[in-house]
Amino acid sequence: MIAAPAAAQFDFTGPAPTRNFQPIQLIFLNLPFESALTLQPGEVGFPISTAEINEIATTQGSIESVLKFESNRTVFGVRYGLLEGWEAGLDLPFISRYGGFLDPLIDAVESAFNSTNSERDLFPQNSFGGFSVMRGNTVLFQASEENFQPGDLVLSVKRSLRLPPQWPRLALRGAIKLPSGDAGAVLGSGEPDFGAGIAADYQALSRLMLYFNFDVVYPVGPITDGSLTLNPFVDESFAAHLAITRGLSAMLHQATYTSPFHTGTRLLDGTVVELGLGLNYAFGEKVGVQLLGIENMTGVEQSADFTLLLSLAVRPWAQPTSLPGLDQGPAPPMPPEPTVPEPEPLPTP
């Protein structure tokens, strides 16, 4: 009898590390969207991501604002497997602000779908039109162009849970944001933030991976010259990755973010709902790369207008025996070696 071929294996790198990319919300802790998988003890990973964020919003009334620019947020991280099921992490973002390059692309897409934003006609394309938020004569946020300046450092820990194999993979995680960014330049809040949440993965089909994160963040306030007090806020993220080939998969992401502000204006207080589409490619166990476009489904004030995210996950010392793919979970047990029966002793004459 000929044995049936083994089921096809597909490599998934986990969800793209999305978060709330609205420029003002960048000063707060958001736990990046990630898998429940943890590194093996002693192994090291290097997640790197860069997000190009296009923002345009103008408001009048109790709070007057002008936000017209692009931000780039590039994060360099490291992950380390502490013990079995335990992983520690460190992330340092660098933020730039300038005129950008996405305006013509966004204008063309909005024109094709007959959903143009009239505020875009107020400024030249790819220009830094301003970053100012005022309440009366009080400056809440005001900043100029920046060139690759450090933001707030984030320390994190993740603990995977031991569950039956047929259950979704689950992990608990927590993070602390340290106020290392310049609050005056809107590169940080000037205060620490604390967050905790859960991560879940489920392989619904051999070609389909599902991911879910839910987090609660407690931001410390008040902040800015306006003494803005802050509320806890929540983030929810869901993603479905469909494998096309062993290493290539298509990604659908959805996220909802609430805000810590309570000023009565959509610019600061509004809840954000976003959808993203992209591609993921895994180069075996050691490298995975992702490209994701994120479009806001809510008003232009409370959300980044459009975000383009490129993510790279590097695990140079990953071993196929312990990590069979960037997000395939524990290696399957090896079948036992066949045993050869010992010959019976010959009868003695």
DSSP string computed for 170-233:
EEEEEEEEE--S-GGGTSS-SS-EEEEEEEEEEEEETTEEEEEEEEEEEE---BTTTTB----E
The C-alpha atoms of residue 89 and residue 288 are separated, in whole angstroms, by: 18
Token representation of residue 251: 């990604």
**Does residue 112 lie in a domain region?**
yes
Looking at residue 199, what is its pLDDT?
Answer: 98
Report the share of the chain in percent with pLDDT over 70. Answer: 89
The C-alpha atoms of residue 32 and residue 51 are separated, in whole angstroms, by: 13
Kindly give the residue spans of alpha helices, DSSP state H, lying in the chain: 103-112, 266-269
**Does residue 50 lie in a domain region?**
yes
**Does residue 276 lie in a domain region?**
yes
Residue 134 CA, distance from chain mean position = 30
Looking at residue 209, what is its pLDDT?
Answer: 96
**Does residue 327 lie in a domain region?**
no
DSSP strand E in the chain: where?
44-59, 63-81, 86-98, 130-135, 138-142, 146-150, 153-160, 169-178, 193-205, 208-219, 233-243, 248-257, 272-283, 287-296, 306-314
Per-residue pLDDT tens over the stretch 223-238: 999 999 999 999 999 9
Q: Looking at the 3D structure of the chain, how many domains does it have?
A: 1
Token representation of residue 101: 């390059």
Q: Residue 191: which of 29, 1, 4 has the closest Cα? A: 29
Per-residue pLDDT tens over the stretch 270-313: 999 999 999 999 987 789 999 999 999 988 788 999 999 999 99
Looking at residue 121, what is its pLDDT?
Answer: 84
Looking at residue 2, what is its pLDDT?
Answer: 37
Per-residue pLDDT tens over the stretch 63-88: 999 999 999 999 999 999 999 999 99
- The three-class DSSP label of residue 10 is coil
- The three-class DSSP label of residue 121 is helix
**Does residue 202 lie in a domain region?**
yes
**Does residue 223 lie in a domain region?**
yes
**Does residue 201 lie in a domain region?**
yes
Q: Give the structural domain span for 103.
A: 25-314
| Averaged pLDDT, 230-250 | 97
Looking at residue 300, what is its pLDDT?
Answer: 79
| Averaged pLDDT, 92-108 | 94
Token representation of residue 245: 């080939």
**Does residue 344 lie in a domain region?**
no
Per-residue pLDDT tens over the stretch 258-276: 999 999 999 999 999 999 9
CATH code, domain with 305: 2.40.160.40
